[in-house]
Amino acid sequence: MLRLSTLALLACSVPALAQEINVYSHRQPELIQPLVDAFTAETGIAVNVAFVDKGMAERLQAEGDRSPADLVLTVDIARLLQIVEADVLQPVQSDVLEANIPAELRDPNDLWFGLTSRARIVYASKDRVAPGEVTTYEDLASDKWKGRLCTRSGLHDYNVALLGAMVVHHDEAYATTWAEGLKANLARKPDGGDRDQVKAIAAGECDIALGNTYYMGQMLADPEQVPAAESVNIVFPTFEAGGTHLNISGVAMTKSAPNRENALKFMEWLSGDTAQKIYAETNYEFPVKAGVERSELVKSWGEFTPDTTPLAAIAATRGAAVKIMETVNFDG
Ligand code: FE
């Protein structure tokens, strides 16, 4: 991984190396490196990755036309939307991207493209939750879960997107009542990340928790977290009139991309078979391209019906969803 200063230096001092692109990544270097290595081996195009933890949109705005970045890799529709709103992206028309990525997982205006998906599911205690007890997201607000539910902050992007999907499926009034019901069922105040909720189930503090699928893979890969992971089942709730809520990790091209042509090659390659397989095996996510298999572990969690609400529609409800979480004082 190169730091930005190194990137800028490279760009100035070695102009002969035209076969390279620069990527700002919010995703972990361990996940991106195998992809970069495979792409470079196949095409000869070098990929310089700068890991950007916070303030991606602000940084691109501040750099403006001088930004060395060609592409942005990030997780969650909310973060993609922030970058869209910063007006630092350019639309990309590509038959390959359109063929590989389902329409609901990319921007209708071609500004962002989903590369992997993850489901927001329920982790359920093997001991205290009966098979079939978890049904719909709507039902999570019912009395039967009183004192049995754990989750991270209601204002975290993952929960805001889920609530946004609830707004799309019903309306703001319904979603407000649902969020109130969810809050009333909490075993404790929202705290920690998704993995901490699984640990809380293992410790007997709650029976069910909201979480993203890939965290199960991460916990099973860490001997210390295996016992907690093995105390729960993954259950795929659905919306009453839909499927299981998905979010994405995605890619976008900057407005200033200095290496547009090669950057497009990398985008297209990331949506293709080789990269989709690497994604599936490295971070327990779902490939977006039809026909690419999930990892064995992910397959073992079972089949489910993905909700087909376009991510763009969910993104459009973000403001309303945040307001609802604040109105019901979800974390309070
Ligand atoms: Fe995450």
- The pLDDT of residue 53 is 87
CA distances for 34 relative to 43, 154, 176, 274, 314, angstroms: 14, 33, 43, 11, 31
Ligand 1 centroid, distance to 160 Cα (angstroms)? 13
Q: For residue 50, is pLDDT > 90? A: yes
Ligand 1 centroid, distance to 87 Cα (angstroms)? 25
| pLDDT confidence bin for 184, thresholds 50/70/90 | very high
Residue given tokens 């750099």 in the structure block: 63
Ligand 1 centroid, distance to 3 Cα (angstroms)? 23
- The pLDDT of residue 29 is 87
- The pLDDT of residue 13 is 46
Ligand 1 centroid, distance to 73 Cα (angstroms)? 14
CA pair distance 186, 208, nearest whole angstrom = 10
- The pLDDT of residue 18 is 62
pLDDT in tens, 302-316: 999 999 999 999 999
Ligand 1 centroid, distance to 214 Cα (angstroms)? 8
Report the candidate in 96, 264, 231 with the shortest Cα–Cα distance to residue 150. 231
3-class secondary-structure state, position 171: coil
Q: How does DSSP assign 55-110, residue by residue? A: -HHHHHHHHGGG----EEEEESHHHHHHHHHTT-EE----HHHHHHS-GGGB-TTS
Q: What percent of the chain has pLDDT over 90?
A: 91
Ligand 1 centroid, distance to 249 Cα (angstroms)? 10
Q: For residue 126, is pLDDT > 60? A: yes
CA pair distance 255, 67, nearest whole angstrom = 9
Q: For residue 14, is pLDDT > 60? A: no
pLDDT in tens, 80-111: 999 999 999 999 999 999 999 999 999 999 99
| pLDDT confidence bin for 1, thresholds 50/70/90 | very low
Ligand 1 centroid, distance to 234 Cα (angstroms)? 16
Ligand 1 centroid, distance to 66 Cα (angstroms)? 31
Going along the chain from its start, the domains and CATH numbers come out as 3-117+247-292 (3.40.190.10), 118-245+305-327 (3.40.190.10)
pLDDT in tens, 160-178: 999 999 999 999 999 999 9
CA distances for 7 relative to 1, 4, 15, 62, angstroms: 10, 5, 12, 16
CA pair distance 189, 65, nearest whole angstrom = 44
Report the candidate in 4, 17, 88, 21 with the shortest Cα–Cα distance to residue 264. 21
Instruction: Report the residue count for the chain.
Output: 332
Ligand 1 centroid, distance to 76 Cα (angstroms)? 9
Q: For residue 15, is pLDDT > 90? A: no
Residue given tokens 């999930």 in the structure block: 294
Ligand 1 centroid, distance to 197 Cα (angstroms)? 13
Burial of residue 128 (number of CB atoms within 10 Å: 0-12, 13-18, 19+): middle
Ligand 1 centroid, distance to 71 Cα (angstroms)? 21
Q: How does DSSP assign 5-25, residue by residue? A: HHHHHHHHH-TT--SEEEEEE
Rg of the chain over Cα atoms, rounded to whole angstroms, equals 20
pLDDT in tens, 227-278: 999 999 999 999 999 999 999 999 999 999 999 999 999 999 999 999 999 9
Ligand 1 centroid, distance to 194 Cα (angstroms)? 8
Ligand 1 centroid, distance to 154 Cα (angstroms)? 14
Ligand 1 centroid, distance to 120 Cα (angstroms)? 10
Neighbours of 227 (CB within 10 A): 11
Burial of residue 313 (number of CB atoms within 10 Å: 0-12, 13-18, 19+): middle
pLDDT in tens, 212-229: 999 999 999 999 999 999
Ligand 1 centroid, distance to 98 Cα (angstroms)? 26
Ligand 1 centroid, distance to 193 Cα (angstroms)? 8
Ligand 1 centroid, distance to 211 Cα (angstroms)? 9
Ligand 1 centroid, distance to 23 Cα (angstroms)? 20
- The pLDDT of residue 30 is 87
- The pLDDT of residue 280 is 93
Ligand 1 centroid, distance to 54 Cα (angstroms)? 14
Ligand 1 centroid, distance to 282 Cα (angstroms)? 14
The chain-wide mean pLDDT, for the chain, equals 94
Neighbours of 218 (CB within 10 A): 15
Mean pLDDT value of segment 114-119: 97
Ligand 1 centroid, distance to 263 Cα (angstroms)? 26
Q: For residue 61, is pLDDT > 60? A: yes
Ligand 1 centroid, distance to 212 Cα (angstroms)? 7
Ligand 1 centroid, distance to 292 Cα (angstroms)? 22
Neighbours of 254 (CB within 10 A): 24
- The pLDDT of residue 28 is 85
Identity (one letter) of the amino acid at 3? R
pTM of the model as a whole: 0.90
Find out whether 25 and 49 touch, Cβ atoms under 8 Å.
Answer: yes
